[in-house]
Structure 1
Amino acid sequence: MKKTICICMIVAALSLTGCADHAANNRNEETLPAQLPEQESEDSSQEEQAVPVSQMDYDSFRNRMTAEEWESFEQYFPVLKENVPFELADFGYYTMLDRDGKVTEEEEEAVFYRYDPREVTDLCRYVTAYAENDIEEMMIREIRIFDLDGDGIQELILEWTPVGDYLILHCENEKFYGWEIMYRGFEILQTSGIYLSSGGAACNHWQHIRFDQGSWLEEKLAAEDWGEYFIGGEPVEEAAYLQQTAAYQTGDVTGYKPKLRSVSDDDPIRLR
């Protein structure tokens, strides 16, 4: 009799254990759908964040870019992956030229701005250039592949954070050249190759830049300066200015957000 009671108790215990396990599984199944959207949101947020150049997933661009963009992107891999140096021109140092291409010291006469290379650097040094300002490493927020001046060579346009600079790279004769510009000097790049340089609500310049024998030559096409309007350096009425600048706005150049990849200890351009 005692043996029968013990067997019954064991069977009952096993049944209760099975029910408990089943209930726990049901609870997990019930909570799983509620967790998935949260996880997807985190993953989506991670994909949108800025990425260090040393941890950028280059292959992730292949399916998003056109074949022509990807081929042009690859030509800049020596700079991005192998830390090959490039000549850098700084937006803060330029020579002003009038509409005839002659040097001028008068801002109101300036139609062209020539930026000459000031140093040879590489990405390892470039991304840590602001370390003294408590910025450990600049990170890439977005990239564009676009032929800025119609010479058949597509430039690589890198948008950085947190300082908000753009670094534009040009490749010619197996050499690399860069031009650095602050974000307000290179806004809403259009498929016409024209962009907006803004000094405030009442001070806007529509500009275009081209690579010229080792230097960068920026042209001020049209300007609004506190109620005065200019096209090609000549004063015009507001209506003419608005009509001209409307023609510049042909649509934004496509940008691509970077994605993170895993970084191995022997990465050739490990910047951290």
Structure 2
Amino acid sequence: MNPALNIAITAARRAGSQILRGLDQRHELQIDVKGQNDFVSEVDRNAEKSIIDVIQKAYPEHAILAEESGSQEGKMEYEWIIDPLDGTTNFLHGNPQFSVSIALRHKKRLEVAVVYDPLRDELFTASRGEGAQLNGRKIRVSGLPSLQGALIGTGFPFKYQQHIDAYMAMFKVMLQQVADLRRPGSAALDLAYVASGRLDGFWEIGLQPWDMAAGTLLIEEAGGLVSDFGGGHDYFKTGNIIAGNPRILKAILQTIRPQLTPALQR
């Protein structure tokens, strides 16, 4: 196994154990508001610290980009991108859809990815050029050739309410073409589900790098594609993402493009 992947797995499982311990005490947790509809608990912070401790013990010169503690510079061109608890709102309500997301990139190219669902003990992993796995078994994106009959994942732009009208227009036109839509509330896990074929495709507005870094590599290694709303590769910059197999991605892009405002046309 790739040594860096092994470290990421160790860190994700350690964070997952902390999250599960905190689940039963969630009503007693200290919760802070970071922004509009954006919450953080002591579980998020403690899980992130445990991840960083594992990584820095193995790779003390690597840079860190983490949701709660921000950016830490390193002496090498490696950067770990960490979301210790993706789906905090679900976690705080006891809604069982949240995950740990850890990725490593070298010179801006993703090399290692882990998305871990601690409740189901499902571990999604990928190393560049070595495929993607779920609990050690190879996974592939859906082979569905069109949106007809497709199950598509999405996320509401709850932090970016200036895009609500455009998003609802996308939602309406998409719903008319697919079998159904899903909005579970953990983008990292949604992307892992695209990689494993549980969702045929996915789109969302306004994600952060830590929401999608691991998931994008999982999808690429599982035979899928990821793009921004312009069909390019600036999704880390724009936060706007589409994912699926090549035909599904193209179909989603063609479906939502007429609904895009100028601010979203990239």
Fold-level similarity (TM above 0.5): no
With the length of structure 2 as denominator, give the TM-score of the two structures: 0.28
Look at both structures and tell me which one has the larger radius of gyration over its CA atoms.
1
Higher RCO (C-alpha 8 Å, min separation 6): 1
Between Structure 1 and Structure 2, the one with more helix by share is 2
